[in-house]
Structure 1
Amino acid sequence: MKVETLRWSHNQLEMIDQRILPAAFEYVSYDSASSVAEGIRSMVVRGAPAIGVAAAYGVALEALRLQSESMADFNIGMDAGFSTLAASRPTAVNLFWALARMRGVWESVAEQSSATVAQRLLAEAHEVLAEDIRINKAMGAYGAALLPDGARVLTHCNAGALATAGWGTALGVFRSAVEAGKNISVIADETRPFLQGARLTAWEMVQENIPVTLITDNMAGYMMAQGEVDAVVVGTDRVAANGDVANKIGTYMVAVLARRHDIPFYVACPLSTIDMSIASGASIPIEERSEDEVKGFRETHWAAEGVTIRNPAFDVTPAELVTGLITERGVILCPDAPKLRELFR
């Protein structure tokens, strides 16, 4: 199955509405930076690489929308579009990486006509998407080599095709292992409160006939203690310069449990997700989302009225708990600041 999380169609960006999967499969169309920003904010699209690709297209869409304006109005509108996209979600560094890349392209052709600038930005957005798939497949090949035949691999949240332009980071490792002829099976945490594991990871694996077992988040320790987990592979939204990893809330608990049970804990991580400007995970901004996501689901509420609710969307796993980062340039075992600096030389 080829999951096109994002696609360009009839001069608009179309994105799978991940809020309604697996009950329904629909695309939503976008035609401006502000509409793409709302799609990111409301979780129509999620996953760091996919957010980055969406942001690149958001910039291109804004340029196309403004290309008939005067150069002064075009520049003012583009700056506003960049700001709107940057404010959509704070934790996933791919968002800011993509915006910086698109701004660099814009500045390199700023003296040309608005129409020319718009077409150049659109071409760059197409390349960001294609590059993401190439990177994911490279990571998948490196990660697949880490998994023995017959491995039972636990994952948390969704780091699959739906979280990227296609193929996936953590789930891309599983796809590559199966493609290489390995008989692996997946254990998916449901991933409260947004249920990305139950709704998205399980759906992707079922579509491709990769054996998958769904568990609640608080069952992971039991499964490990019973000897039913051979490895853990997760994705990430931002990696600090020292190797600390920010990923979906609950990842830190999984990493601690994996260390307790001597199970390797791998993080599938494109270089665009490594933020060398942040020294450690303590400086990674953690998004707090609406309390409604914890109160219940859609029209059904199960929390007591008046209770205080916290809803941090991410947590940070210290580098010391990470067995290895799986990147498009290879596997970085026991990641630390010197090893990550070497990656960018």
Structure 2
Amino acid sequence: MTNDPTHVKLNRLMLESAQIERLFFGEVYMRTLEWDSTAKRLKMIDQRVLPSKLELISLDTYQSVYQSIKDMAVRGAPAIGVAAAFGIVLAAQQSQAGDVDMLRADLNQAAEVLGASRPTAVNLPWALKRMLGVAGHTYSSTADLRAALLDEAQRMADEDVALNRSMAAYGAELINDGDTIIHHCNTGALATVDWGTALGVIRMAHEQGKHIHVLVDETRPRLQGARLTAWELSQYGIPYDIISDNAAGYFLHTGQVNKVFYGGDRVARNGDVANKIGSYMLALAANANNVPVYSVVPTSTIDMELASGDEIPIEERDQDEVLNIQFQNQPATPKGASARNPAFDVTPHELISGIVTEKGVIYPPFEIHLAKIMQES
């Protein structure tokens, strides 16, 4: 069984723009990623090409799942975790193992590859550990093990949707009618299997009839806010304006913002939150202007093994994501320039007003309250 993740083939289905709303949010229900039981493949939305077009990628190897995570065709901590779980399902399908022990060895090998795709989001190792835990049970045949893995991955996908709705209900209680909210990165249905975390909270408040307005950080350098969050808000009919990341301080200082919401890719046991780069600066500006900051995460994103955010590994991505920008149809950076491109930063817990989970809203002191809620979970 090869573990070479390069040169994978992605099968694509391109949809016309007129079909997007009908398929994703309208008459025909469609998740960000879902298992195709007929073709025995994983289907997902390729988020690299939104909002100009919607393409579905069909993945039939664990190597292609690795590549889709690494290249950010799928992104968002919850979605990455579930994608990796289905990657293990595909690894089981690929394996030529003749007995259960040999199949387990192939699954462990695939898990090593998948786990190396992106280091910061704890949902990735969490999902792989859960799938390998299922593989560790006793089975009479490889067919039984393969079936159990598919059941578990599908269960994780369904759980994700249910957890997101629960978080949305708790978080929506924090939003008042008339609020203006700054949102960073993308945390909607596209970042999860469906519904979303922080953007799911905003969506729930809107569906409750609250009149809200969202200031959408562009979220450089990959523009997940301008490309993905704005697109989702358009589908939901929620009023918004896109702002440059460095404009957030202006709107906070001039009293035009009531709350800040963003997600999280890993939360340490003291409440430090690793999230998309720029979250720390946003939280600093909000704190300086007495605007509450809420991180919205499922409990699977809370890593009780890490004492603080200083221990969270931070992914540094290719410098070309920063350098390959245009100004008036010309390169915006000098030839030969170099760049640094950390994908995440850590917001210290003292800047966080509350952490919204599927178990409720957790308030400081986080070290005490996170431990309690994780024990209950």
TM-score range, shorter chain: over 0.9
Change (3 A) 1:278 1:222: same
Name the structure 2 match of 1:94.
123
Q: Aligned partners of 2:266 and 2:118: how far apart in 1?
A: 12
CA-CA distance at 1:69 after TM superposition: 4.0
Q: Aligned partners of 2:314 and 2:73: how far apart in 1?
A: 20
Change (3 A) 1:306 1:207: same
CA-CA distance at 1:308 after TM superposition: 2.5
1:131 to 145, 150, 159: 159
1:45 to 68, 74, 97: 74
1:80 to 81, 86, 109: 109
CA-CA distance at 1:3 after TM superposition: 5.5
1:63 to 92, 106, 129: 92
Q: Aligned partners of 1:251 and 1:314: how far apart in 2?
A: 8
SS for the counterpart of 2:136 is: helix
Q: Aligned partners of 2:336 and 2:283: how far apart in 1?
A: 33
CA-CA distance at 1:302 after TM superposition: 2.0
Tell me whether 66-75 or 314-323 shows the greater mean CA deviation. Answer: 66-75
Q: Aligned partners of 2:205 and 2:214: how far apart in 1?
A: 12
Name the structure 2 match of 1:4.
31
Q: Aligned partners of 2:316 and 2:190: how far apart in 1?
A: 22
Tell me whether 188-197 or 55-64 shows the greater mean CA deviation. Answer: 55-64
Matched, 1:155 2:197: no
SS for the counterpart of 1:253 is: helix
1:114 to 132, 142, 146: 142
Give 1:101's aligned amino acid: R
SS for the counterpart of 2:54 is: coil
CA-CA distance at 1:81 after TM superposition: 0.5
Give 2:359's aligned amino acid: R
Matched, 1:326 2:356: yes
SS for the counterpart of 1:108 is: coil
Change (3 A) 1:63 1:197: same
TM-score, length of structure 2 as denominator length: 0.88
Tell me the percent identity. Answer: 51
- Structure 1 unaligned regions, length at least 5: none
Confirm or deny: 8 A CA contact 2:261 2:296 kept in the other structure.
yes
Confirm or deny: 8 A CA contact 1:141 1:173 kept in the other structure.
yes
- Give the alignment of 1:1-345 within 5 angstroms: 1=25, 4-9=31-36, 10-66=39-95, 69-71=98-100, 73-109=102-138, 111-297=139-325, 301-345=331-375
SS for the counterpart of 2:294 is: strand
Give 1:167's aligned amino acid: W
Q: Aligned partners of 1:335 and 1:311: how far apart in 2?
A: 32
Confirm or deny: 8 A CA contact 1:160 1:169 kept in the other structure.
yes
Q: What is the CA RMSD across the aligned residues, in angstroms? A: 1.5
Tell me whether 63-72 or 46-55 shows the greater mean CA deviation. Answer: 63-72
Confirm or deny: 8 A CA contact 1:142 1:326 kept in the other structure.
yes
TM-score, length of structure 1 as denominator length: 0.97
Q: Aligned partners of 1:37 and 1:27: how far apart in 2?
A: 16
Write the deviation string for residues 25-84 of structure 1: whole angstroms up to 9, x where unpaired: 001111122110111000000000000010110011111222664445423321211111
How many residues in Structure 1 have an aligned counterpart in Structure 2? 344
CA-CA distance at 1:307 after TM superposition: 2.0
